[in-house]
């Protein structure tokens, strides 16, 4: 045998051995099934706390398919690796987590491994949930275990090879999972720590608001909370890179998280809306205040130019005469005029102060103009009609280009008309 062949052979032997070692280490034991714990095992306070934690974690947002029973799973998540379906997390013994002991539940939340010993995909944000303390996980478990059991088996998740091999998550976890609970930051106040605990842990803000690498893991360090995406929407940076023309302050963040609307920023429209409706708006006031304290600590100390921008833009909007400006006054002005007249319907978000105008991506604006806002984050905000059938791609592009260049004074987005067409097609099925 020549030298090269020998080398190739020993290399493959080495690779095989490595694969075998990986396999052995990645095997996780099944945790024995239990008979579902009786409701009497949990106190009413514990269950109530668990309910709030479940709201914060958006469990039902992801575990309920359209029109399906709450928490029974089956909602599809399209990822670049294939479609992942959320699991049934009702206490059904056959199809849900009814026979999961607390240690089995804790292992799923902290290490992303289910009762049967299978690795879970990070579409389930266990990389954030892992930071939760044991007492909170116990309360969450109590709440889930006293919910109505639903017998329903979600469709099977089958990703493209090699991601179809769940064992591969062993390596992924080794690289990207930092198991909790979260350490306390002694440099910061108690309130800041509470906010960080809620936002980084069950609140999983970074799951959408941080960019991800090719392996689908959140980028950390200075990229943490520097903007990401969710379901085709872009989630703006929440740190110093925030595109918002006015710095987010504590009071505005609290308003946004409670009501889905902050006067100097705007409304929650896309995937952020359910995060508020079913999550943040259900939290005790103190907790929302704490999250705001944590988030404001990342904001740069800019001066607040808000009022000035507002008046300037109001005037500009009245004066401008261009195809885009005319389109705006025809289609949008009735509800979005600046500082003039009474607000007749819902809130009147100032488009000028809206982060979407300052973002690198026009996608959120395109989506809002095409389909409107049929489901406001909280009822008082009103709904906005969609313009899918009223405006052509070209008209939408001209209109958005006007908002972008005249109002926001930013360089125009390239190929806007093509982008409108692409998003129109992507969203055609869901009116």
Q: Which of residues 155-194 bind ligand HEC (CB under 6 A)?
A: 157
CB of 419 to ligand HEC, least distance (A): 15
Residues 191 and 287: beta-carbon distance below 8 Å:
no
401 sits near ligand HEC (criterion: CB under 6 A): no
Using the rule CB under 6 A, which residue among 142, 373, 397, 407 binds ligand HEC? 373
Binding of ligand HEC by 317 (CB under 6 A): no
H helix runs in 245-362, sequence order: 250-259, 272-274, 285-296, 306-319, 323-331, 333-336, 355-358
Asked if 114 is part of the footprint of ligand HEC (rule: CB under 6 A), the reply reads: yes
CB 121 to ligand HEC: min, Å = 4
| Residues contacting residue 267 through CB under 8 Å, at least 6 positions apart | 260, 261, 347, 349, 373, 376, 377, 381
SS3 93: coil
Q: Which stretch binds ligand HEC (CB under 6 A): 306-314, 369-377, 408-416, 422-430?
A: 369-377
| By the rule CB under 6 A, 385 interacts with ligand HEC | yes
**Nearest CA-CA partner of 26 in 171, 177, 179:** 171
Residues between 227 and 256 with contacts to ligand HEC, criterion CB under 6 A = 230, 233, 235-236, 238, 242, 244, 256
The nearer residue to ligand HEC, 158 or 418, going by C-beta atoms, is 158
The dihedrals phi and psi of 80, each to the nearest 5 degrees, come to -70, -10
- Considering beta carbons, is residue 6 or 73 the nearer one to ligand HEC? 73
Among 35-43, 44-52, 349-357, 412-420, the segment contacting ligand HEC (CB under 6 A)? 349-357
The size of the interface with ligand HEC (CB under 6 A), counted in residues, is 78
CB of 176 to ligand HEC, least distance (A): 15
Tell the residue number behind the tokens 């979005």, with chain if given.
336
- Residue 211 CB, shortest distance to ligand HEC, in Å, is 13
Please say whether the beta carbons of 172 and 166 come within 8 A.
Answer: no
Rounded distance, CA 88 to CA 66, Å? Answer: 14
Q: Which one among 31, 46, 50, 84 touches ligand HEC, defined by CB under 6 A?
A: 84
Identity of the residue, 97 or 150, whose beta carbon is nearer to ligand HEC in the bound complex: 97
3-state SS class at 367: helix
Alpha helices (H) in 146-271, listed in sequence order: 169-176, 190-200, 205-209, 250-259
Asked if 141 contacts 104 with a C-beta cutoff of 8 angstroms, the reply is: no
- Considering the rule CB under 6 A, would residue 59 count as an interface residue with ligand HEC? yes
Q: 238-241 contacts: CB < 8 A, separation 24 or more?
A: 238/205, 238/209, 238/295, 238/298, 239/298, 239/299, 240/298, 240/299, 240/300
| Least distance in angstroms from the C-beta of 384 to ligand HEC | 3
Selected range binding ligand HEC among 173-181, 182-190, 199-207, 300-308, rule: CB under 6 A: 199-207
- Candidates 52, 98, 124, 293: give the one binding ligand HEC (CB under 6 A): 124
**Interacting residues of 20 by C-beta distance below 8 A, sequence separation 6+:** none
**50 near ligand HEC, judged by CB under 6 A:** no
x-or-dash string of contact with ligand HEC, 136-155, rule CB under 6 A: ----x---------------
Nearest residue relative to ligand HEC (C-beta): 266
Exposed e or buried b per residue across 122-147, where buried means at least 16 C-beta atoms within 10 angstroms of its C-beta: bbbbbbbbbbbeeebbbbbbbbbbbb
Check if the beta carbon of residue 208 is closer than 8 Å to that of residue 224.
no
**Distance in angstroms (rounded) separating the CA atoms of residues 125 and 203:** 10
Please select the residue that binds ligand HEC; options are 42, 64, 106, 120, rule is CB under 6 A.
120
Tell whether residue 128 is a contact of ligand HEC (CB under 6 A).
no
Answer for which of 268, 352, 398, 416 binds ligand HEC (CB under 6 A) is 268
CB atoms inside a 10 Å sphere around CB 412? 13
Of the listed pieces 265-273, 318-326, 409-417, 418-426, which binds ligand HEC according to CB under 6 A? 265-273
Query: Per-residue x/- marks for ligand HEC, 279-308, CB under 6 A?
Result: -x----------x---x-------------
Q: How far is the CB of 6 from ligand HEC (least distance, A)?
A: 42
Q: Contacting ligand HEC (CB under 6 A), which of 106, 336, 404, 419?
A: 336
């Amino acid at each position: 045998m020549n030298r090269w062949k020998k080398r190739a052979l020993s290399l493959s032997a080495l690779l095989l051995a490595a694969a075998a070692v990986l396999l052995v280490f990645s095997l996780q034991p099944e945790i024995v099934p239990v008979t579902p714990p009786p409701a009497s095992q949990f106190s009413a306070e514990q269950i109530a706390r668990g309910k709030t934690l479940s709201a914060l974690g958006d469990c039902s947002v992801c575990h309920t398919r359209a029109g399906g029973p709450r928490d029974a799973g089956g909602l599809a998540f399209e990822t670049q690796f294939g479609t992942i379906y959320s699991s049934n997390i009702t206490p059904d013994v056959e199809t849900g987590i009814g026979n999961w002991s607390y240690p089995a539940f804790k292992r799923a939340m902290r290490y992303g491994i289910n009762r049967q010993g299978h690795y879970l995909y990070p579409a389930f944000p266990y990389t954030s949930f892992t930071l939760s303390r044991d007492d909170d996980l116990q309360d969450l478990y109590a709440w889930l275990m006293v919910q109505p059991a639903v017998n329903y088996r979600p469709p099977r998740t089958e990703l493209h090879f090699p991601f179809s091999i769940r064992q591969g998550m062993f390596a992924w976890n080794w690289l990207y999972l930092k198991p909790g609970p979260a350490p306390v930051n002694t440099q910061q106040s108690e309130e800041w720590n509470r906010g960080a605990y809620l936002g980084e842990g069950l609140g999983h803000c970074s799951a959408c608001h941080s960019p991800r690498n090719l392996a689908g893991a959140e980028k950390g360090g200075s990229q943490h909370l520097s903007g990401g995406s969710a379901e085709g929407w872009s989630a703006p940076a929440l740190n110093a890179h925030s595109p918002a023309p006015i710095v987010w302050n504590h009071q505005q963040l609290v308003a946004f998280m409670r009501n889905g609307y902050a006067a100097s920023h705007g409304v929650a429209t896309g995937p952020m809306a359910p995060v508020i409706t079913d999550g943040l708006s259900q939290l005790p006031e103190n907790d929302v205040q704490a999250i705001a304290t944590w988030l404001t600590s990342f904001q740069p100390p800019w001066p607040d130019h808000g009022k000035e921008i507002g008046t300037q833009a109001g005037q500009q909007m009245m004066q401008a005469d261009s195809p885009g400006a005319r389109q705006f006054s025809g289609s949008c002005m009735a509800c979005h005029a600046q500082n003039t007249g009474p607000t007749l319907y819902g809130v009147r978000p100032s488009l000028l102060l809206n982060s979407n105008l300052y973002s690198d991506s026009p996608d959120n604006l395109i989506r809002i103009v095409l389909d409107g806002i049929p489901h406001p984050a909280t009822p008082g905000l009103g709904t906005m009609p969609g313009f899918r059938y009223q405006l052509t791609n070209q008209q939408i592009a001209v209109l958005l280009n006007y908002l972008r260049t005249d109002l926001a004074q930013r360089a125009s987005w390239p190929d806007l008309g093509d982008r409108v067409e692409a998003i129109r097609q992507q969203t055609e099925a869901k009116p």
